[in-house]
Structure 1
C-alpha cells in the first residue's frame, strides 16, 4: 500500500488479553504495524487492555492507552486524540466487533469521522455473515463448498 499523505495519525485497536498459545499473532502483527507506521511518519495511537503484550511497550506507539476495550472507552480515545484513521484488523474479533459498534454509532467510517482502514465496515460485515461471504466468493469466481443455512433442526435435516 502506498503511503497516504492524507493520514497523519492512526488509532490501532489491540486484541486485549490472550490465552497462552492462542492469538499471539495479533500481538506480533500489531507490534510490527506500530513499528512500520511510526517509521513511515504516522502518529500511532494504541488502545489495548492487556499491559503484558509486547505492543504496549512505550517504544511502539506515540500514545498508548491501557484501558478496557469497550465502545465508550474507544469513543473517548477518538474524541481526545482525533485520529485520521482507525485500524481494527490487527486486534482480532475484539477489535472488529468494536469497529462495527463504533460504525453503528456513526463514530468511524462515515464522513467527518476517522476512516476505517485495513477493512471498512462493509468488508467486515461481509466477512462476518457466512451467506454474504459465500456469495462474495462466488461472485469473484472462487469455488466454495456446498453449504446452506439452517435456522432450526428441521431445516438442517433436509
Structure 2
C-alpha cells in the first residue's frame, strides 16, 4: 500500500492491562503495528496503561504515554500531540469502546 503523505503522526491506543492467558494478541498486534508504521516513516504516539508490556518499549514509538486509557486522557494527548490519524483497533475492546 502506498504511503499517505497527508498523514505524518498516528496515535495508537494500546491494549492496556492483560489478563494472563487472554488478550496477549492485542499486545502483539499493537507492537507489530508500531514497527510497521515506523518503518514506513510515520511518527507514532502510543497510549497504553500497561507499563509491563513490550508495546511500551521506547524503541517502538516516538512518544509513549503510560496513562489510563480513558476519554479524558486520550483527548489530552490529542490536544498535545495533534495526530493526523487515530488507530484504536490495536487496543482490543477497551479502545473500541
TM range (shorter): over 0.9
Q: CA deviation at 1:2?
A: 2.7
Match of 2:45 in 1: 45
Match of 2:28 in 1: 28
User: Is 1:74 equivalent to 2:74 in the alignment?
Assistant: yes
Q: CA deviation at 1:15?
A: 1.3
Matched residues in 2 for 1:31 and 1:2: separation?
Answer: 21
SS at 2:90's partner residue? coil
Matched residues in 1 for 2:90 and 2:68: separation?
Answer: 17
Count residues with an aligned counterpart: 97
Match of 2:65 in 1: 65
Match of 2:85 in 1: 85
Matched residues in 2 for 1:40 and 1:32: separation?
Answer: 12
Higher share of residues assigned strand: 2
Q: Which runs of 4+ in 1 moved over 6 A?
A: none
Q: CA deviation at 1:5?
A: 1.0
Matched residues in 1 for 2:29 and 2:15: separation?
Answer: 11
Larger radius of gyration: 1
| Unaligned ranges ≥5, structure 2 | none
SS at 1:64's partner residue? strand
Match of 2:96 in 1: 96
Structure-2-length-normalised TM-score: 0.97
Flag the structure with more relative contact order, 1 or 2, with Cα contacts below 8 A and sequence separation at least 6.
2
Matched residues in 2 for 1:38 and 1:50: separation?
Answer: 21
